[in-house]
Amino acid sequence: MKIKTLKGREVITALFKQGAVVKAPPLLMRYQKNDALPNLHLGVSVPKTKFKKAVDRNRVKRQLRAILQKNQAAVCDAFAHTGHQGMLLYLDNKIPESSLLESHLLVLLKALKEK
């Protein structure tokens, strides 16, 4: 299974209204099952209220995307290899180290797998 990018205003809005939530501070995952999708569709977001500069938001998003690609097998395993869509949010106001961010992501995936 491959991780694809989550796109579309209506899809993202519906995800935030109806999706389930898993928290592992400073990360939050909103997700929902969608049988029409053969792959996993994930979006990455960093709120403007946490980082005023776009440069900082983009850096954190790049870090998250790189870690998601690096741990693609673990991400697909957490979603049980079925069609899902989700949004990963970073909710801290400090730029993280990649290794620390990766450990937080693995904790989030473990919590997601247990749900």
Rounded to whole angstroms, what are the CA distances from 80 to 1, 38, 49, 102, 112? 10, 12, 33, 20, 10
What architecture is the 3-114 domain classified under in CATH? 2-Layer Sandwich (3.30)
Provide the pLDDT confidence category of residue 99 given band limits of 50, 70 and 90. very high
Q: What is the band of 2 on the pLDDT scale with cuts at 50, 70, 90? A: confident
Indicate whether 83 pLDDT > 90. no
Q: Supply the pLDDT for residue 38.
A: 85
Percentage of the residues of the chain whose pLDDT score is greater than 90: 79
Quote the tokens at residue 21. 């939530």
Please name the residues in contact with 68: beta carbons below 8 A apart, sequence gap of 6 or more: 3, 42, 44, 75, 88, 105
**67 contact partners, CB below 8 Å, separation of at least 6:** 98, 101, 102, 105
* Confidence check: pLDDT of 82 > 80: no
> Is the full-model pTM beyond 0.75?
yes
Q: How many residues does the chain have?
A: 115
Cis amide linkage into residue 47, ω under 30° from 0: no
Q: Please tell me the number of Cα atoms within 13 Å of 21 on its side-chain side.
A: 9
